[in-house]
Amino acid sequence: MSDKVNILGINVDMAGIEEAADRIMEFFDEDRLHKVYTPNSEIIMSAYKNEEFRNLLNDADLLTADGIGVVYASKILGKPISERAAGFDIACDVLGRITRTPHSLFLFGGKPGVAETAKKKLEEKYIGIHIVGTHNGYFKPEDEQGIADEINRSGADLLFVCLGAPKQEEWIARNADKLRHVRVAMGIGGSLDVFAGTAERAPEFYCKHGLEWFYRLKKEPWRAKRMAALPKFAMTVMLKGRSFRQDQ
């Protein structure tokens, strides 16, 4: 049995939060950049329909289930993932492990000022963390090389890319070869907003019971259209999911 579940053509690791953080710590010991993505059902659905994006996701070194929809899909397919492993939770676990170590972090993404505030808040929370640079997530294509250069100059070996999906995964894939010191690049969506305090995470009750989507819908009703994709995703997994081989 492989430790991945093939959900509509996307090979999702069956790793929970702690196991994902363990893997990331191992990635630091290997002399190359590792890509970590955490797709939710909406992202998996768009990768199902788009071969190029599907290949890009499958090229990740670690792909965890961010969202209860993906966890349910794994159950439907008979290879249940034990828990939702959201990018934010994995990031917090890794941050806890790299305080007072030589590892260093670059924060990339969010509106102007958000990454700087996140840096300040993280330095207060994780005493001894080395955050060596920040850059906001609103840039022109011609700025891209400059951003990669800035990340290289910082010497960071851990990079949080928070541009939302699929922008962040595409940015990492496009720039991976330019980043000289980064060993782990994680696409973790709106996490900088949560670290900075400009957005709230759902209370634990909602997260524990697989209801974070409901909390976000209450807070951000404009997400309704995006969320309507969830029942369609569940239906597609039920109808087509078993036609994907699980043994590769």
Which range in 17-25, 105-113, 119-127, 152-160 contacts ligand UDP by CB under 6 A?
Answer: 105-113
Range 120-149, binding ligand UDP (CB under 6 A):
137-138
Q: Contact with ligand UDP (CB under 6 A): which of 109, 133, 166, 241?
A: 109
Q: Residue 48's CB: how many other CB atoms inside 10 A?
A: 20
Amino acid identity of residue 41, one-letter, is: S
Q: Contact with ligand UDP (CB under 6 A): which of 151, 165, 172, 196?
A: 165
Range 177-196, binding ligand UDP (CB under 6 A):
189-190, 192-193
Binding flag, residue 16, ligand UDP (CB under 6 A): no
Q: Contact with ligand UDP (CB under 6 A): which of 15, 94, 158, 162?
A: 162
Q: With CA atoms as reference, report the closest residue to 91 among 29, 34, 168, 38.
A: 38
Which range in 16-24, 92-100, 141-149, 158-166 contacts ligand UDP by CB under 6 A?
Answer: 158-166
Q: What is the largest CA-CA distance in the chain?
A: 50
Binding flag, residue 164, ligand UDP (CB under 6 A): yes
Cα 111 to the center of its chain, rounded Å: 18
Cα(128)–Cα(123) distance, integer angstroms: 7
Which range in 27-35, 51-59, 106-114, 176-184 contacts ligand UDP by CB under 6 A?
Answer: 106-114
Q: With CA atoms as reference, report the closest residue to 188 among 107, 118, 113.
A: 107
165 CB contacts (<8 Å, ≥6 apart)?
Answer: 37, 39, 40, 42, 43, 187, 189
Nearer to ligand UDP, 110 or 241 (CB): 110
Cα(173)–Cα(192) distance, integer angstroms: 20
**Residues shown for the chain:** 248
Binding flag, residue 69, ligand UDP (CB under 6 A): no
Interacting residue ranges for ligand UDP, rule: CB under 6 A = 109-111, 137-138, 162-165, 167, 189-190, 192-193
